[in-house]
Amino acid sequence: MLWIPIAVGAASLQVARNALQRGLLPGAGPWGATLVRFLFGLPFSLAFATAAWLLSPGASPRFSAAYFLACAVGGATQIAATAAMLVSMRRSSFALGTVFQQSSIPLAALVGLAFGERLHPLAWAGLVAVTAGLMALAWPRQGAGPRDWSAAGLGLIAGAGFAVSSNAFRQAAIMLDAHHPALAAQISVFCSQAMQSAALVAWLAATDRSALYTAVASGRASLGAGFFGAAGSGLWFTAFAMSPAGPVRAVGVVEMPIAAIAGRRVFAERLAPWQWAAAGAAALGVALAALG
């Protein structure tokens, strides 16, 4: 059950990274804000991978074409998911944007079935409870316009992307070195971020150089997003290497109250009582998923 505190730590770091990225949206746009997570995270992920290698005597990672393909698939879907999540946050709120992308929880479990992952019935019950709570939060209030639906729709796209990337990264870590999950995770983070950085830099250089310049020149905020991104991804990947993606994503819902607090303090956002109640139902589902 070591993966549970690891996932909690990853979720906490993810909130800090998301907050910094959201602050970059006005100048860098969704793709530029997405880039900083990977480009500025590269030095940190390289340092983490090097440290993990030195602390893993006798490890022998097995690189293969299938491994790099899994990293590429995970990286591409994570890029799309991150951009969709950031726009969802801008169209709703920081806290609700975090909630919407949690649709990755049941989707990650379903995608895991394709890889032969089997969950306990209690874990499935927890995933259903989490999904119900998230649907209640995503459902527009009476009189709400299409803007709310677009935020929820983008959150669903983000969730689908994170569901695919979670399982792809899990398979990559297992293929690389199933006996040393921390080492496999850190190496996979570095390989994925290198691919993602190269792809996004090339894309922005060809389509939106002003966003690329803003992202690169953002200084402290970009560096902070890179550090929290690399550290959080290292913990996520480690948890994925130790457990199926569905339960890991479910435990990661702990980021919801953290995001609500951050949204209130940093962005002056508030959640209504009914939204807290729905979040409580999701929290109960997290406990069931973890016990299962």
Euclidean distance between CA atoms 200 and 179, whole angstroms: 32
What are 222-269's pLDDT values in tens digits? 898 899 999 999 998 999 889 887 778 777 766 666 655 555 555 455
Q: Per-residue pLDDT for the chain (292 aa), expressed as one digit of tens each? A: 788 899 889 888 887 887 788 778 777 888 888 899 899 999 999 999 999 999 998 888 999 999 999 999 999 999 998 888 888 777 766 556 666 666 666 666 667 777 777 667 777 776 677 667 766 665 555 544 444 567 667 877 888 888 899 899 999 999 999 899 999 999 999 999 999 999 999 999 999 999 898 888 877 778 988 999 999 999 989 998 898 877 787 777 666 666 555 555 554 556 566 666 666 666 666 666 555 5
CB-based contact 285:130 (threshold 8 Å)? yes
Say how many C-beta atoms besides its own lie within 10 A of residue 29's C-beta.
21
Task: Provide the H-helix boundaries in the chain.
Answer: 3-39, 42-54, 65-91, 94-100, 104-113, 121-138, 146-177, 181-207, 209-216, 220-242, 245-251, 255-267, 273-291
**What's the DSSP call for residue 179?**
T
Compute the distance between CA of residue 233 and CA of residue 287 in angstroms, rounded to an integer: 22
26 exposed, middle or buried (CB, 10 Å; 0-12, 13-18, 19+)? exposed
Give the pLDDT confidence of 48-60 residue by residue, as tens digits.
999 999 999 888 8
d(CA 166, CA 103): 13
Q: How far apart are CA 32 and CA 83, in angstroms?
A: 9
Q: What b/e sequence results for 60-95 when a residue is b if at least 16 CB atoms lie within 10 Å of its CB, and e otherwise? A: ebeeeeebeebbbbbbbbbbbbbbbbbbbbbbbbbb
What is the token pair recorded at 132?
């119900």
Could you give the CA distance from residue 13 to residue 212 in angstroms, rounded to a whole number? Answer: 24
279 neighbors 99 (Cβ within 8 angstroms) = yes
Cα(77)–Cα(232) distance, integer angstroms: 17
Q: What is the C-alpha separation between 262 and 185, in angstroms, rounded?
A: 28
Cα distance between residue 56 and residue 151, in whole Å: 43
Residue with structure tokens 């799309």?
80
C-beta of residue 210 within 8 angstroms of C-beta of residue 202: no
Task: For the chain, give the mean pLDDT.
Answer: 80
pTM, full prediction: 0.77
As given in the structure block, the two tokens for residue 226 are 């890179």
- Look up residue 147 and give its two tokens: 């803007």
Q: Return the closest-CA partner of residue 195 out of 82, 67, 71.
A: 71
Structural domain boundaries in the chain: 3-55+63-291
